[in-house]
């Protein structure tokens, strides 16, 4: 068998590698304006969602279609999340100027809230592209998944940090590493979606049977 043929393993590997490269490139270019980081990342998650579902849809057309479809919601979500992050930062700066027991209590409370904020952030965009829900439902479901699927949340966080570390240590890896990282994150989230959906369906069937 010719591994370089269209049915060969090497050909398929190189094709997937090229798709990851182009997806990473599109994401990077569309993130340059800064304010489009969330819409661009939502579009990337949308594309890798199709890949996880074994849909051969290419890269360019689905990326820009998803970028347009999710732009408003992901832009507003990004704005709200940025304001929350900014609020946490200033509150921490103010709290650090305090002293005594009040400082310990405030730092502990802010740290806990910040942790919940970061955990919820893991599922935000994967849920957006998978379920297409309204803003409040999106945030509520993201919080629910982050708590109920704690190990997935932890693994996704590790993958994100590892991706950022690799791109920092090996700058050349930036041309492809982020699309691979987001693919792995969505694949984990997708399994969680399927697991929860199966449990809900089983519960409904049990209630109907009883």
In a domain, 1, yes or no: no
4 found inside a domain: no
Average pLDDT over every residue of 1-18: 69
Tell me, what's the pLDDT at 209? 67
- Cα 14 vs. chain centroid, distance in angstroms? 25
Confidence (pLDDT) at 142? 94
In a domain, 92, yes or no: yes
- The range of the structural domain enclosing residue 189 comes to 9-205
Indicate the burial class of 155 (C-beta count within 10 angstroms; 0-12, 13-18, 19 or more): middle
pLDDT in tens, 99-117: 888 888 888 889 899 999 9
210 within some domain: no
pLDDT digits (tens, 9 = 90+) for 162-207: 999 999 999 999 999 999 999 999 999 999 998 888 887 777 767 7
CB 70 within 8 A of CB 128: yes
- Whether 14 is in a domain gets the answer yes
What pLDDT, on a 0 to 100 scale, did the predictor assign at position 174?
A: 92
Residue range 63-73, pLDDT digits in tens: 999 999 999 99
Predicted local confidence at residue 105, as pLDDT: 87
3-state secondary structure of 165: helix
Contact 91, 32 (CB under 8 A): no
Query: What's the residue count for the chain?
Result: 210
- pLDDT value of residue 6: 54
Position 56 in a domain = yes
- Asked, for residue 167, whether it belongs to a domain, the answer is yes
| Region of poorest pLDDT, from 4-18, 35-49, 140-154, 166-180 | 4-18
Q: How many domains does the chain have?
A: 1
Confidence (pLDDT) at 210:
64
108 in any annotated domain: yes
């Amino acid at each position: 068998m010719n591994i370089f043929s269209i049915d060969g393993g090497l050909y398929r590997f190189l094709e997937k590698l090229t798709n990851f490269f182009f997806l990473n490139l599109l994401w990077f270019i569309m993130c340059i304006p800064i304010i489009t980081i969330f819409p661009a990342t939502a579009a990337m998650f949308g594309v890798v969602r199709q890949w996880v579902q074994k849909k051969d849809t290419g890269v360019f057309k689905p990326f820009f279609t998803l970028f347009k479809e999710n732009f408003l919601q992901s832009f507003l979500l990004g704005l709200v999340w940025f304001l929350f992050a900014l609020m946490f930062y200033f509150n921490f700066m103010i709290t650090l100027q305090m002293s005594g027991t009040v400082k310990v209590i405030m730092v502990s409370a802010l740290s806990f809230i910040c942790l919940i904020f970061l955990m919820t952030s893991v599922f935000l965009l994967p849920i957006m592209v998978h379920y297409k829900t309204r803003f409040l439902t999106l945030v509520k479901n993201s919080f629910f998944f982050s708590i109920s699927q704690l190990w997935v949340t932890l693994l996704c966080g590790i993958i994100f940090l590892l991706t950022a570390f690799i791109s920092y240590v090996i700058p050349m890896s930036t041309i492809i590493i982020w699309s691979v990282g987001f693919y792995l994150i969505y694949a984990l989230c997708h399994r969680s979606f399927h697991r929860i959906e199966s449990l809900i369906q089983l519960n409904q069937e049990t209630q109907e049977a009883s």
